Amino acid sequence: MITRTSISIALATVFTVAPAGAQHRTSPHQRSPAAPSRPGAVAVVPPTVATTEATPQARPNLDLGEVIPVPVSAVDGMLRRMRVFLFTPPPASTAFGIGALGQGRRIWALLPSCRTVNHDDDREPCPVDRVTVEAVIRGNVNAGTPTFIGGVADGRRVQSFVVEPSAPRVRLRVLGPASRVRYEAVVEADRLVDLGLPEGSAAPDGFTFDLTRYPAR
């Protein structure tokens, strides 16, 4: 966006305008721009990531119906970088409690495992606690309890969701410890069909993921 200013043409030649779609990277030593100081002002969030974590002052009054939806493929790609994998379950599968969640658009979320606590490693041992899926504007989402694969504590977990057909959009969030939001986006519910089928072996009452295709870290 080109801002009208009173800066002279001579000074304007010092600056260059990035091509459309280019991503601006800042040095870790640079300060972030100050948040708007006017009452009721809302910081502008890039439309490619519909997250409100950077502007907590706007969250109480945020109208999710006005949030620009993100393509499901973009959300899926971002979550895979966090080792969270979203799938459309096989049509006949009732595994991980999804068979008890009713009719609608079905989702599995395969979560990463937790690391063993190491006091010499300052990384978070469980960076992803859970995924939430919520209906936007209207409708409901039925969610199952996270299930450990093979019953191994601190292992991989699977969550099941069913989005009722009346929901036009859903908000997906990745939560860390203490419910800290690590990623958040709104997507069109009818595009959840773009999520691929998982690789593995299916059975009438279960499913075994090929975890070599879905690394935990």
152 secondary structure, DSSP code? -
Dihedral of alpha carbons 213, 174, 73, 81, sign: negative
Residue 32 is predicted with a pLDDT of 47
Residue 203 is predicted with a pLDDT of 76
For the chain, which ranges sit under pLDDT 50? 1-60
Residue 145 is predicted with a pLDDT of 85
Give the containing element (helix H, strand E) for 11: helix 9-12
The pTM (predicted TM-score) of the whole model is: 0.67
Which pair of structure tokens corresponds to residue 66?
């006005």
How far is Cα 192 from Cα 86, in angstroms, rounded to an integer? 10
Main-chain phi, psi angles of 79, to 5 degrees: -65, -35
Residue 169 is predicted with a pLDDT of 94
Residue 178 is predicted with a pLDDT of 85
